[in-house]
A and B are shown apart, each in its own frame.
Chain A
Amino acid sequence: MAAKTDLRRFTGFLPMTFVCLFLLYAPLIIVMVYSFNDSKSITNWGGLSLRWYEEVFWGVESAKFKAAALNSLSIAVVAAISATTIATMAATAMLRAGRFRGKSISFALINLPLMVPEIVTAVATLVFFSAIGFTTGYLTILLAHIVFCIPFAYLPIAARMQGIEDVYEQAAMDLYATRFETFRLILLPLMMPGIISGFLLAFIISLDDFIITNFVKGAGIETLPTAIFGSVKQGIKPNIMAISTLLLMVSVGFVTLSWLVGRMGQNKK
């Protein structure tokens, strides 16, 4: 199509898109590049090296970061599994159970963790645990993570379920399947791409969280983001850039996976 007759085209929109992508990616790429910098000074380029990665895995602070990474990982796995299960049940209730008491308020409730500013959630959770005399630590982090992971798991699951016509379930019931069989044999397999996406997003959200964790973690326990934050407070050191790069790769890897799963699901349909 000739540019003159293309009504989609606005002068300057394409450059602006590139500006947008550049702004989004430049800082990340620079950190990735400088994580391979051999120089001790973080700004002067001293040649390629993996020394900061060695430092991360075997250096002075490695024990601290390894423990933090392990906490982050185990919390993310448990929180994502719990949130995905809860969200799947909730989506089934919202989209497949007709009318029931409290349905109208349920949607707002599920999305509440998205609407309340993170810092307010953090304060409220801390204050609540303190009021009921709960010692802050691993368990409080986990519970808080489950709560704010629910809407992130819910969105892709509900979107997927909305795309599945209920005629498949009717066909299954017509062919003598009980409601449980219908769920297990029809709805669950058809929803699987949504459930996997929901799980992966919840996992990343948990892995990435800083603010809420920072409030409810108590003393003596760190997740990767809080450990990094503590370290950055004394200035950005090259090993932080190496850790950041690793974490960045994990996030990008998971989101790409989630995206591919979602696309697979679409192609199947």
Chain B
Amino acid sequence: MKYESQKVALWYFAAAMALFGVQILVGLLAGAVYVLPNLLSELLPFNILRMIHTNALIVWLLIGFFGAAYYLIPEEAETELHSPKLALIQLGLFVFGALAAVVGYLFRIHEGREFLEQPTWIKAAIVVVALMFLYNVTLTVIKGRRTVITNILLVGMWGIAVFFLFSFYNPSNLSLDKMYWWYIVHLWVEGVWELVLASILAFLMIKMTGVDREIVEKWLYAIVGLALFSGILGTGHHYYWIGTPGYWQWIGSVFSALEVAPFFTMVVFAFMMVWKSGRRHPNKAAMLWSLGCSVFAFFGAGVWGFLHTLAPINYYTHGTQVTAAHGHLAFFGAYAMINFAIITYAMPYLRGHRPYNQVLNMWSFWLMCGGMAFMTFVLTVAGVVQTHLQRVLGMDYMEVQSQIALFYWMRLGAGAIVAAGTVLFLYSIFGPAREEQPASIPADYQPAE
């Protein structure tokens, strides 16, 4: 860490991890309600649990992105942040909005479009927060060195803010509502978020492998180019059955099938950089999360997305547990893991100790990844069975659900493993640092003369 103002990232990461804890806790509860349906049914019904689970996820990922940006932009731009104070005010406002939203949800104060349940005043606060962030980082980048990483990161962050504006448009025509709703949801997670992901990954690769910046930047352009060329028209895979024209079945199938390409390129990129450099960075855990992120994003977003993206297949699988399986692994692999990677990388610097042998952190990697992989497998099998019974044989929904109850028990077990990994991760990040014995003489020993 070279710049004092990078320190604000510490607060961002702490807030993100607190909300991550909320997400996992409520996710566990929701998973439990699937198998014990009378649990909490009057106090905290499933719709509220799920609202908190998904909203907490989105908000902590965004806070993590903000933190990552505040950490890496000074180092990239080679200058202090324009205003660290503004960054902290921004965080305070965002966390207040997030907490107000969650507490409001508990008292049934919410709107009702999926993921956009925040009351309008909180949506407006989110826009203010985004503008504060963009103002702060844009001015920092302008006064400092411009790099491809900061440029791509900024394009991604501006995109996030611009597309969020569609959340204020809610037409009475349901089909129109749905079509523009995807301008936020899809163009975020299968568009501009990928720019943020790729630029953070590129930053980590430069720092940890020491590979020449020129090479990394060319790869970065290739990855984000593939992401947007496939991802923008790939939105069509959400326009098959919502009242939109039939041509989307062709456009959506072709372009969303290509959405695998940027994720595959990311795997090749990450492994190639590590292999080329031959350097061993002392923060092995950060390296593990970075490489793991590319692999899990490829499987979760790429392979599991492709599994049900072609229109003739999606006709049967649309809105089943197959979708749930893909959603879980894609968010975890692509966006949760890049956050864990940058947090694991930055924490030793932010806390002022040297990267040590982070065995606990690496254990949390295997627990979380193993749990999420198992969850994805069981939900996929549940989804395939559901698709056949409900969509081919035409069996009643609730009857089908009782047929696949066993898989929901296994999903709950997988969730418990992820939760254990979460606790371990949080401890390894915030817990006592196991200091490596320095080879030099401790500082409090003064020379005699």
Same complex for A and B? Answer no
The interface of chain A, by Cβ under 8 A from chain B, is none
